[in-house]
Amino acid sequence: MILQKNTPAPAFELYTTPDQQLKLSDFKGKKLILAFYPADWSPVCSDQMSLYNETLRLFHKYNAEVLGISVDSKWSHLAFGENRKIHFPLLADFEPKGAVSRLYGAYNEETGESRRALFVIDESGIIQWSHLSPDGINPGADGILDALEAMDNQKK
């Protein structure tokens, strides 16, 4: 079971390029969308990451950043991101394999991959929305946008 609303987001530090790491704490003060996905290069994952790439401007209107996370290596992410022209970080949950996915309840022991799980985290590091989608289905961006809008409405 993936982590649910009102749960503090577990801290992590993962490679985003062969020589650069990102931490959850790097995004304090911003909303954060974590998009766990099974694998670079698969058709559904490619569609999902491309959709979030096209939706970045809408996410940024809500002061939200996106991070894609899979168990693929930093080198795979580098090639995939360049090929698909992805403009947000892809993080390698590679070694130890799936450690961050496990923290969020998003690791699939049977396949050795991340499940297709989404988390929207507030500026204080608390999960405000989460969703688990079947691996073969692109969950789209509507749920994320609804969660971001609901968070903005709570502040008003």
Secondary structure of the chain as H, E, C letters: CCCCCCCECCCCEEEEECCEEEEHHHHCCCEEEEEECCCCCCHHHHHHHHHHHHHHHHHHHCCEEEEEEECCCHHHHHHHHHHHCCCCCEEECCCCCCHHHHHCCCEECCCCEECEEEEEECCCCEEEEEEEECCCCCCCCHHHHHHHHHHHHHHC
Catalytic residue among 3, 9, 14, 45: 45
| Cα 144 from Cα 90, distance rounded (Å) | 18
72 is catalytic: no
Catalytic residue numbers? 45
